[in-house]
Chains A and B, each alone.
Chain A
Amino acid sequence: MNSYSQAFAWLAAPGHWAGPSGIPQRILEHLGYTGLTLLIAIAIALPVGLYIGHTGRGRDVIVPLTGAMRALPTLGIVILLALWIGGIGIQAPLIALVVLALPPVIAGAYAGLESVDRSVIDAARSIGFTGWQVLWQVEVPLALPLIVGGIRSACLQVIATWTVAAYLPVGGLGRFLYDALPNQDYAQMLAGSLIVIVLALLADGLFALVQRLATPRGVAAGRTPDVGTATRSPTRKDQTWLAPEEA
């Protein structure tokens, strides 16, 4: 309890809210890193995931590969890349964190497309939709909640894990942890952790909202239990392999 009161006292001290190593600056850096990581990860992962989901091709290679990528220890990659590409800048942790963010985004995309009822796609094709039209006008809108869910899962992991990058001289909220540890300043470490947790929860809440907005009205209606009509399409695939928090 005492350590919590010390952590809150640390958070309340006005000196910790100003300057280049103050809390607002560190939060901005952290959000900047997280946003950049997610943008790069989405740019790579979304096309891959949509391709697999739409065509069904490449699944045997990509699914085990992304599964294996989840097991890579991020700090290890940061240290190794910093030695390889030589540098104490942002590149090494950025690559390591993109690697961390790819699997959930890819999984969300192809799982989303696979969950779309085949009969809907068949219907779209039978009235003359091209492949692109099926993808963009049928599959993606219907899959959007799961696609956003993948990004949401990636975002949560990326916010939490960017802290390890402070092993190198980069900013972000990890600084509070790495700089406090050698001085046994546990109040600061706990305060830093609390900020990360709050930030992660806020971001997750934001994505939950986006996810709800992204759900097409028809799908949402189909899911309400009192409607109970044939419009309700059963989930075609087991989605428990999504990140645990999604399952």
Chain B
Amino acid sequence: MARTRRGLIGALGALALGALALTGCSSGNPLADDTSTASSDTVVVGSANFPESEILAYIYADALSDNGIKTDVKPNIGERDRYIAALKNGEIDLVPEYTGNLLQFFDSKATAQSSDEVYSALQKATPTGFEVLDQSPGQDADSYNVTKQFSQKYKVTSLADLKKVSVPLKVGANSEFATRPYGIPGLKKVYGVTATLVPIADSGGPNTLSALLKNQVQLADIYSTTPSIKQNHLVTLADPEHMILAQNVVPLISSAKASDKVASVLNTVSKAVTTDELIEMNTKSSVDKESAQQIAKEWLAEKKLF
């Protein structure tokens, strides 16, 4: 008994030593990699921790390497403050971003709303050493959606049309919609439309969708690139007064890596990224469960941009 126990302790000790040696190695190697990539010509593409960002990162990387530029992808870094920090300390060189949120991140007092205003404000607000390339037409923003029947019955295709609707309007959205300028107060102030909030805390997910389809709410706030919009033939209402902050997809890159060639490749890609294309990518991701890499490859092959 005593012997076996001593043997066990010995084995555990050896295991612990081994583990120590292993962690020593693993923490040494990536550091070495990092310094080498930072000094070479490789463009390291990072992404936020959601599928759409990951797909865009792989599209950027594949497009660049198709044009003879060495790339590496570091997907799923985290939320904005995390990957912007990674960009600033040189762990990554390029990341797909959204104009409105990025502008708010760099300048919390920014007031720009429409795509073009936001983009030019963003160009000014981007810190030195970094720049944004051309923005895509595609947006992933909050959007008001109605069912096709509702749209046809009341002839509503825009938020401005809602004033003519005679029935009381309920909006299914997260509870912050009660106070945000693009929510209930904005509808009243910008479009003169009175609506009440039905708070559903799933960010335009299945519960919000089901409430809309059952007419328990007449409007639903769903992110504009969500597959369910297309699958259920919802009508996304236009926002002619730019009440909702624009969120065009845009590449954010370190100036050191933004050579003319890199910029022209990414600008060509950006031109092709529309909201419909983003919906299709997200459908492949969340409905067909394809990997981000696979979706990026298929998309570039299909678009034949180069």
Residue B263 lies at the interface, judged by CB distance under 8 Å to chain A? no
A73 to B: closest C-beta gap in Å: 15
Given A169-B199, A178-B201, residue A86 in contact with residue B214 (CB < 8 A): yes
Residue B75 lies at the interface, judged by CB distance under 8 Å to chain A? no
The answer on a CB contact under 8 Å between A88 and B174 is no
Residues 219-241 of B contacting A (Cβ, < 8 Å):
none
Residues 161-178 of B contacting A (Cβ, < 8 Å):
172, 174-176, 178
The answer on a CB contact under 8 Å between A86 and B210 is yes
Residue A195 lies at the interface, judged by CB distance under 8 Å to chain B? no
Size class of the A contact interface (CB-based, 8 Å): 10 to 19
Query: What is the interface of chain A mostly: helix, strand, loop, or mixed?
Result: helix
* Mask: chain A, 139-171; 1 = CB below 8 Å from B; 0 = not: 000000000000000000000000000111100
* Mask: chain B, 192-212; 1 = CB below 8 Å from A; 0 = not: 000000111110001100110
How many pairs, one residue from A and one from B, have CB atoms within 8 Å of each other in the complex?
Answer: 47
A131: chain B residues within 8 A (beta carbon)? none
**Residue of A with least CB distance to B178:** A179
Given A88-B200, A167-B200, residue A182 in contact with residue B210 (CB < 8 A): no
* Mask: chain A, 172-185; 1 = CB below 8 Å from B; 0 = not: 00010011001100
The answer on a CB contact under 8 Å between A167 and B201 is yes
A169: chain B residues within 8 A (beta carbon)? 172, 198-200
A167: chain B residues within 8 A (beta carbon)? 200-202, 207
> Within the assembled complex, what's the spacing in Å between the Cα atoms of A179 and B197?
12
* Mask: chain A, 73-96; 1 = CB below 8 Å from B; 0 = not: 000000100110011100000000
Residue B36 lies at the interface, judged by CB distance under 8 Å to chain A? no
Size class of the B contact interface (CB-based, 8 Å): 10 to 19
> Within the assembled complex, what's the spacing in Å between the Cα atoms of A88 and B206?
11
* Mask: chain B, 142-160; 1 = CB below 8 Å from A; 0 = not: 0000000000000000000
Which residue of the partner chain, among A82, A86, A178, contacts B175 with CB atoms under 8 Å?
A178
* Mask: chain B, 39-56; 1 = CB below 8 Å from A; 0 = not: 000000000000000000
> Within the assembled complex, what's the spacing in Å between the Cα atoms of A86 and B216?
10
Add 19 more A-B contacts to A82-B207, A88-B216 (CB < 8 A). Answer: A79-B202, A79-B207, A83-B206, A83-B207, A86-B210, A86-B214, A87-B216, A88-B207, A88-B217, A166-B199, A167-B200, A167-B202, A168-B201, A168-B207, A169-B198, A175-B175, A178-B201, A179-B199, A183-B176
User: 22 A–B contact pairs at CB < 8 A?
Assistant: A79-B207, A82-B207, A83-B206, A83-B207, A83-B210, A86-B210, A88-B198, A88-B207, A88-B211, A88-B216, A88-B217, A167-B201, A167-B202, A167-B207, A168-B200, A168-B201, A169-B199, A175-B175, A178-B175, A179-B178, A183-B176, A183-B179
